[in-house]
Structure 1
Amino acid sequence: MKNSVFSQKIYSFLLDTYRWYLQTPERSLNQAYDAALKIKEIEDKHFSGNKIDIDSAMYSNSVMDYFESDLKKLLKTVRMRLTELKASRWFLNEENQKAAEKTGIEYLSPSLVLERLNFIDQVISKYTTLSAQKSSNVLVVQPPNLPVESVISDDKSLIVNNPTLPPKITTKDWETKAKPKGKIDTTGVLPRSILSTITRLQVELDPNSEQEVIQSFRQAQRRTIISIRFILLLIIVPLLTHQIAKAFVVGPFIEKFRNTEQMQIFLNSEMEEEALGELQRFEEKLQFENFIRNAPPLLPEQIEVEMKKRAVELAEEFRYESSNAIKNVFADIFSVGAFIWLLLVSKSSIAVIKDFFDRIVYGLSDSAKAFIIILFTDIFVGFHSPHGWEVLLEGVSRHWGLPANRDFIFLFIATFPVILDTIFKYWIFRYLNRISPSAVATYRNMNE
């Protein structure tokens, strides 16, 4: 009897799974259609039926950030559901459709499917462009000693369609007036300096150049604010998560199980050796103070009483330190989880901060770049770096209540800085040498 009931449950589960599989095309289409309806609703309600323009002056920056976030989520849903629809229709054949009809699944009529797909295309076509337009209008070649920036075409819809670009960065600097140069344009009759001077004069004589400069400055300012705010969040959120989890989540739970006298005081032998050393120094201190005061020698009973008091104090101190180390392990897990979650939900901010650091790094002079590279390499892979790595690893071990394994520390110091040094040299050879060869030359001269 039990076997038959179990078999019926298995059959029911498999049947429900198969029905869910057969309903995948219709479910994907309905979800994409609902997302397109929501986009259309926002357009009709807040933008008078026009497309959602993230650079619109109708609302404040906070409101536009809200609309932009919703738009990105809805467009992502539409793209994923349409991809799912295409893949599921490719796997489903006539036999599957006949099986679906037998199980009572009714598909939408072809006319209704085409109508919904047409509506979806009409809505999202405002926020998509051809790949050829992207490749011809998005990037502009700049000299290696200038800040490298992603330049976006006049079609602001690229910001929504391309998730790798920072939000609301539609810079229109005077450099973007020049078209991308091909191999034919690399050499010409006139020198490049004359052509660039003519281009600059054309831009300066353009009556709209002042507005474009102001708009570019505002966008750069906004990008800087977003980057600084995100950096602060990356620092503050994990720290706050660590402290809150340690005080209110992990702390009471650990104290509940370690608040007994029978619990082990020391987590490792190093703590025990440290406590015994403290107790021995305390005994020597008592004798030394007794000698310099010219007082009668302490009786063994008095020394034993003082030693017992100090031993109880040391036991409480190391019990607290052991509990604190255990709390740190679990609190650090919460902090890492908060940090990863922050990275996952802030992909657009990561793109902005990447562009922010690119502008800062590539905007430095060659000597400044060389100075920073030498500073970092000397700190992490230089001659004195093993001492720093040793102190860091011992601090991490003590933070988690682990014994400092000298073999592991020496092995780490012998391998990890070498790997870092190789990565630094490869980055200099592969990327920096191509982007800024003068900085590499300055680095070599300074390093010699």
Structure 2
Amino acid sequence: MLFEDRVFLYASTKSAKFLALLIVVPWVLDLLVHDYVMMPFLDRYVEKVPLAAEMLDVRRSQKIQMIKDLNIEKARFRFEVEIGKSPPLSDEEFWSELREKAVELRDEWRLENRQAFANIWSDMVYGVALFLLMYFNQSKVAMIKFTGYKLLNNISDSGKAFLIILVSDILLGYHSEAGWHSLVEIILDHYGLETDQAAVTFFVCLVPVALDVFIKFWVYKYLPRLSPSVGNILDEIRRH
């Protein structure tokens, strides 16, 4: 085995181990902080501090969703009575069932709000842990960069052009608008933030367009200098 190959094998092995460390350690800390620190703390805190209980209580949009769920539950009760699956309920029993369902939904939404609030702090711990691992292991970070650079160089020019087209189409293709909408809504929901459709639409109209301009500028301006053959392949594809 050539010396260069031995160096690459050593670097790739070390890089893989450190990359696994970068994934596992922050994730474990995130999980521990979320489930075993923040959630027990919030469960006690909302019981003792009325303001905290109010802040993490069911929000307006969640109340609207609760109403929809309760209407579905009412329809289900009546339907099951009609088809004979459930015995007829008196008005008192019917409203008692609905109250139980409403309390159950309320508790679920309150728990979700506490989990979303805990996500903020646990994700901050994740970010800090990731930063510290990278900051105090600069040599291993450099090794990951070296490995990535070597792997990229081993890809053929056609493969590089394919990857550029694939990534740009995933991020900026005609179908990507729905993906950007979903991504923003998932992030907002993860942190318990209200989804403002106008703000989401503005973000989706602005960020992908700016990203598209940046990628095109890089492809036209700098890619031909870095890899003329890849630039030629992309030009040939665009002509067809």
Is TM (by shorter chain) over 0.5? yes
Find the partner of 1:314 among 105, 118, 134.
Answer: 105
Find the partner of 2:189 among 386, 393, 398.
Answer: 398
Letter in 1 for 2:45: F
For the pair 1:328 / 2:119, whether they are aligned, the reply is yes
- Deviation at residue 427 of structure 1 after TM alignment: 2.3
Structure 2 counterparts to residues 262-341 of structure 1, below 5 A? 263-264=53-54, 266-293=57-84, 297-341=88-132
Q: What corresponds to 2:202 in structure 1?
A: 411
- Deviation at residue 297 of structure 1 after TM alignment: 4.3
- Rg (Cα) greater in structure: 1
Q: What corresponds to 1:206 in structure 2?
A: none
Cα distance change, pair 358–301 in 1 and its aligned pair in 2 (3 A): same
For 2:224 and 2:186, the matched residues in 1 are separated by 37
Letter in 1 for 2:107: E
- Deviation at residue 294 of structure 1 after TM alignment: 7.5
RMSD: 2.1
For 1:429 and 1:349, the matched residues in 2 are separated by 33
Cα distance change, pair 435–294 in 1 and its aligned pair in 2 (3 A): closer
Cα distance change, pair 251–298 in 1 and its aligned pair in 2 (3 A): closer
Cα distance change, pair 292–231 in 1 and its aligned pair in 2 (3 A): same
Q: Alignment partner of 1:266: what SS?
A: coil
Q: What corresponds to 2:19 in structure 1?
A: 231
Contact persistence 2:80–2:86 (CA under 8 A): no
For 1:416 and 1:295, the matched residues in 2 are separated by 53
Letter in 1 for 2:162: F
Q: What corresponds to 1:99 in structure 2?
A: none
For 1:327 and 1:317, the matched residues in 2 are separated by 15
- Deviation at residue 267 of structure 1 after TM alignment: 4.8
Contact persistence 2:188–2:194 (CA under 8 A): yes
- Percent identity over paired residues: 30
Q: Deviations over 1:298-352 (max 9, x none)?
A: 3211210110111121122112111111111111111111111122112112221
Structure with bigger RCO (C-alpha 8 Å, 6+ apart): 2
Give the structure with the higher percent helix. 2
Find the partner of 1:359 among 147, 150, 155.
Answer: 150
Cα distance change, pair 295–434 in 1 and its aligned pair in 2 (3 A): closer
**After the TM superposition, which of the residue ranges 290-299 and 372-381 deviates more from structure 2?**
290-299
- Deviation at residue 251 of structure 1 after TM alignment: 2.2
Structure 2 counterparts to residues 133-172 of structure 1, below 5 A? none
Tell me the TM-score normalised to structure 2 length.
Answer: 0.90
For 1:309 and 1:292, the matched residues in 2 are separated by 23
Q: Alignment partner of 1:340: what SS?
A: helix
Q: What corresponds to 1:251 in structure 2?
A: 39
Q: What corresponds to 1:350 in structure 2?
A: 141
Could you tell me which runs of 5 or more consecutive residues in structure 2 were left unpaired when the two chains were aligned: none
Contact persistence 2:116–2:189 (CA under 8 A): yes
Q: What corresponds to 2:166 in structure 1?
A: 375
For 1:267 and 1:260, the matched residues in 2 are separated by 18
Q: Deviations over 1:108-165 (max 9, x none)?
A: xxxxxxxxxxxxxxxxxxxxxxxxxxxxxxxxxxxxxxxxxxxxxxxxxxxxxxxxxx
